[in-house]
Structure 1
Amino acid sequence: MFPSDAHPPTRRRALASMAGALAGSAIVSAAPRAFADSGGAGPAAEAARGGLPLTVVNSSGRFANGKVHLYVVGSRGDRQVRLTRRGTLAPVKLSDNHAGGFADYSIPLTAHGATKLRLPQMSGRIYVALGDKLKFKAVRGADGKIGLQQPAGWVESDPNFSVLHDFVEFTHDASGMHCNTTMVDMFSVPLMIGLNGAESHSTGRLPAGGRVKVFNALRNHPDFKHLVIADRRVIAPSHGLDAGRFPQHYFDDYIDKVWHTYQNKNLVVRTNAGTFTGRVRNQQITFSGPAQVSFAKPSTRDVLFCDGALAAPNDGITGPVAAALGAAFNRSTLLSHSKQPTTRAATFYDTAVTNHYAKAIHAATSNGKAYGFAFDDVADWASYIEDPRPQHMHLTLTPF
């Protein structure tokens, strides 16, 4: 199996864009079940109690357990749901909005030591807020369904912009547990996840001082320094571009050089579907192989979001090629390697113009893996773990 096909592109796109939107479309659907209100009984409560054990440990060294607020929100089937303080699964309702028009879905940690919960089968996020609580809002979408507006820490007008918070993403379904620590949107709180099941897995750990290392690396770079929001978070350059914090044409010269280079030589992309060979013609790069696929010349924004001209449909053909191209642009390996995807981390980010945000995050993690952009799982360099027979999940707030 070629690593560029490790996970479907639709998963990348869905997980990268959940926050700040009406979470009305499920990432993974499960059979509809009855849901209980907070503290209620019934099938949902039983499902939550019988779910995957989750142990949360606060080793931040900066915040006591009483200052750490946990949230588990997401979707199950076609319903937006959240885990209650009593461990039941409840649907998101408009009546959840109270003071200030926001819903308090926080789950407190135990006063001391580890906090133990159970995750039912659902798909969503586990948020961690330090100090202040997060503000969620239940809303009715244009389709009439109840959705959930989630925090968007990269948007200055968002009510949670001033709150120190971060999240991990997961899908718990009949095929097992699939989860990642993500920095696709932002990086704020160092988090590590682990799974015990058919095997033991862990990812996301930053050694002591790793967070400071990331902040300093970007604060000292002229093009990336405005992505650093005090000591609160670093915004991904994709969102930074949209917010006017990052150069709109940062990758343009590099993109021009790539397009010029492959007018005169082949670009080869290997995927599970086979090998594709491409050349630039009429401002498009067209690949032949198992099928013919073409891509228009991308913009800097397309590169950073791995979208637009680099959008990856979940078709097993165009999607894997787009993913390999998106990763190669962000890692700046297209001029040095005409065969993609490249797999050796030593070849990544080795030019002046590169995704220094992703570079800094990868450099700070203990295993070199991180989710710095949407296609960072190409060649298996994302902080993603899964297990078909999970027995226990761990979430640890590691030292700042």
Structure 2
Amino acid sequence: MRVAFDDQSGAGETYAYITGTTLDNRLVILKADGTPYYPPSPGAAQTPLEEDCAIPLKSLSQVSVPKMAGARIYFALDTKLDFFVNPGPAMVHPNFLASEDPNYARDWSFVEFTFNDDVLFANISYVDFVAIPMGLHLSTAGSGEQTVQGLPARSLDPICDELKKQGGPWAGLVEDDGGKALRALSAQHRADQFDGYLDGYIDQVWEKYGGTKLTVDSQRPDLGTFTGQVSGDTLTFDNGESFGKPVTADVWSCDSGPFAIAGDASEARKAIVPRLAAALNRTTLLDNANQPVDEDPAKFYQAEATNHYARIVHSKLPDNRGYAFPYDDVTPGPDFSGAVQAGDPDTLTITINALR
């Protein structure tokens, strides 16, 4: 499979880095000429990558990629990124939360993908942050074309402006460098600033379903539909799965408190958690007792206390497609995720739009 680059960033140079784990469990990153490099395990943590693996898009517009899992394609504008390797070997990825990371104040972002014997799955994710706006196009050997438009050029500053206008903890999601916005963070990365933020809404939800049945459709023929009701502070379904009342941080992360999915979790729980978490992020659970079948996208994020980060990001997406929280692919029908996938991929083209 080929990965092609459509660089519309206007940068003096745009660099790409492609790294992941091969199907035989080896760390791989492509070198600057597009050939695979398998870093050896170093003797110490934070050992600089020995090879130059910055692919300059002005001189190399496409590369062939080996099959790999948990892969990322990073893009950096004008300045290369610093990568390090820990014993294992294990790649040390750029850190967008630690100001001491050498990459922190640089302009970069990434696309995620998995490419194995069965499928290519690639997505634009805003689960962590928004920075460089990008789009995806997948051509295949015979199953058709797929496009995710992604954020348009120069979307970051308007998103940051709206977060600041929203005020309160939302303004704290903007990371900047000397007044220039670097990225807009998802609320899960500043969860400590949102303590109690959704308490009122969650209390109303729990009170409602103390006297009303909640239906959750697994959207899987083998699992069907579950019915639940609240007793005390516990929401229990007819299959025996139960959920304590979440706090705001659990909703933002979709993966803590009652929404944490242990390794031995049932398939039913794995289906219920995404639908509860999605409805709470979108603040539709109070009004819609038939999840997610009766969801109306026009009613997403309408509560005063809601996931305004997701609301603002989706408001900028021309096709409304892009993960703004981990379970943003939960849907009554329309596709809200920023993913493309096919079993016969030919070329994945990534468009890098202008940051400013």
Give the TM-score of the pair, scaled to structure 2.
0.88
Match of 1:385 in 2: 340
Query: Could you give the per-residue CA deviations for residues 62-119 of structure 1, whole angstroms, max 9, x where no partner exists?
Result: x12x2x1211111123222211223332223245999x9422653232436x711111
Aligned residue number for residue 56 of structure 2: 109
Separation (CA, whole Å) in 2 of partners of 1:149 and 1:207 = 30
Q: Which amino acid aligns with 1:386?
A: Q
* Matched-pair contact (CA < 8 Å) for 1:96–1:102: no
Aligned AA for 1:306? Answer: C
Q: Find the residue that maps to 1:220 and give its secondary structure.
A: helix
1:276 aligned residue: 226
- 1:1-400 to 2 correspondences below 5 Å: 52-61=1-10, 63-64=11-12, 66=13, 68-76=14-22, 77-95=24-42, 101-103=47-49, 105-111=52-58, 115-123=61-69, 124-140=71-87, 145-197=88-140, 198-223=143-168, 224-230=170-176, 231-242=181-192, 246-271=193-218, 272=220, 273-288=223-238, 291-308=239-256, 309-312=258-261, 315-341=266-292, 342-379=294-331, 380-400=335-355
CA 1:254/1:157 → structure 2, altered by over 3 Å: closer, same or farther?
farther
Q: Tell me, what secondary structure is at the counterpart of 2:309?
A: helix
Gaps of 5+ in 1: 1-51
Q: Secondary structure at the match of 1:319?
A: helix
Q: CA deviation at 1:343?
A: 4.0
| Percentage identity across paired residues of the two chains | 29
**C-alpha distance in structure 2 between counterparts of 1:232 and 1:307, whole Å:** 26
* Partner SS, residue 317 of structure 1: helix
Q: Contact (CA 8 Å) 2:30, 2:53: kept in 1 or not?
A: no
Aligned residues of 1:55 and 1:393 also touching (Cα < 8 A): yes
Q: Secondary structure at the match of 1:129?
A: strand
CA contact (8 A) 1:102 1:138 kept: yes
Deviation sequence 1:263-295 (CA, Å, 0-9, x none): 11111100111111111123111111xx32111
Q: Which runs of 5+ in 2 are unaligned?
A: none
Deviations 1:107-155 (A, max 9, x none): 232436x711111100210001112222222112xxxx32111112133
Shift of 1:315: 4.3
SS at match of 2:337: coil
Quickly say closer, same or farther: Cα 1:137–1:209, change in 2 above 3 A: closer
Asked whether the 8 Å contact 1:205–1:398 carries over to 2, the reply is no
In 2, are the aligned partners of 1:69 and 1:106 still within 8 Å (CA)? no
Taking a change above 3 Å as real, the CA distance of residues 253 and 95 of structure 1, as seen in their structure-2 partners, is same
Is this contact kept in 1: 2:288–2:295, CA < 8 A? no
